[in-house]
């Protein structure tokens, strides 16, 4: 049984109801965290879960600040996290190494050296060949976003597609997993090259059979009335919902 908890389901900036992107996963073998936005401020609520495992693994979809700022909070849980591995796009994908990219941001005088945040911190590059965390296969695919971003597939359980223009390939991949977490920044299609809209996602779901869809990276200016209007159109579509902070889903084989 795999358990996912949304620590932060919003995008851009934190809002009254949503922190920015971070999703905590207990795979049953290890801890995997998708992105390190301001949602990591909630991580202390799950210290018992962290202590069960020898390491915590963070996978970054890209390096925009709303997806990495939570790294600066991690020293608060140095008793719960024995070893931290951070995976990010590296040289094979046209970036500096993950270590160089993060160390240029989290460095004195703005922050302490990342190596000093916890007992052991490893910063590791990924490429389009993916990698493994224990026995769990992690697949990586390129998306369309300013500065580039990457989709992350965790085993045959979750496909994480934040910060991306709408792509047929994303939905084709997601047919093979139990949960698609997909960027939903806009309500209507504005032909964005950075983000996706509710309107576009609904059209894609008419073409592709996806078991369950969680809409994420919600624009911080959305109000309750916006959600109510859109949710009316979902009454007969039980496999799609807006993800809130602290949203929990369990996925079984």
* Residue boundaries of the structural domains of the chain: 2-251
Low-confidence stretches of the chain (pLDDT < 70) are 235-236, 238
Contact yes or no for 185/217 (Cβ under 8 A): yes
What are the phi and psi torsion angles at 223 (to 5°)?
-115, 170
- pTM equals 0.96
Distance CA 145, CA 195 (A): 7
Distance CA 253, CA 1 (A): 7
What are the phi and psi torsion angles at 22 (to 5°)?
-170, 130
Please give the CATH architecture assigned to the domain spanning 2-251. 4-Layer Sandwich (3.60)
Output the pLDDT for position 239.
87
Strand 84-89, strand 131-133: pairing: unpaired
Output the pLDDT for position 83.
96
Distance CA 105, CA 111 (A): 8
Residue 3: how many CA atoms within 13 Å on its side-chain side? Answer: 12
pLDDT, the chain, mean: 94
Both tokens assigned to 189: 């299609």
Both tokens assigned to 153: 């597939």
Cα–Cα nearest to 7, from 67, 63, 86: 67
Distance CA 120, CA 64 (A): 24
Strand 22-26, strand 213-216: pairing: unpaired
Output the pLDDT for position 236.
66
Strand 56-59, strand 84-89: pairing: parallel
Output the pLDDT for position 51.
94
Strand 158-161, strand 150-154: pairing: antiparallel
């Amino acid at each position: 049984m795999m358990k996912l908890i949304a620590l932060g389901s919003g995008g851009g900036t934190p809002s009254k109801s949503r922190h920015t992107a971070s999703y905590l996963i207990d795979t049953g073998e290890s801890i995997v965290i998708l992105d390190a936005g301001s949602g990591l401020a909630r991580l202390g609520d799950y210290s018992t879960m962290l202590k069960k495992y020898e390491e915590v693994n963070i996978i970054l979809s890209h390096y925009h600040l709303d997806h990495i700022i939570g790294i600066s909070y991690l020293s608060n849980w140095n008793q719960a996290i024995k070893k931290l591995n951070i995976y990010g796009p590296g040289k094979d994908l046209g970036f500096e190494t993950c270590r160089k990219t993060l160390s240029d941001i989290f460095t004195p005088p703005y922050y302490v050296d990342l190596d000093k945040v916890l007992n052991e911190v490893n910063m590791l590059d990924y490429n389009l060949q993916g990698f493994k965390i224990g026995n769990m296969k992690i697949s990586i695919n390129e998306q369309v976003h300013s500065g580039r971003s990457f989709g992350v597939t965790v085993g045959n359980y979750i496909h994480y597609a934040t910060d991306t223009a709408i792509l047929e390939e994303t939905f084709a991949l997601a047919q093979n997993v139990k949960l698609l977490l997909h960027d939903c920044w806009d309500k209507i299609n504005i032909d964005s090259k950075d983000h996706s809209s509710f309107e576009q996602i609904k059209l894609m779901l008419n073409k592709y059979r996806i078991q369950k869809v969680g809409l994420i990276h919600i624009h911080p200016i959305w109000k309750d009335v916006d959600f109510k209007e859109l949710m009316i159109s979902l009454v007969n579509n039980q496999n799609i919902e807006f993800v809130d902070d602290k949203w929990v889903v369990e996925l079984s084989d």
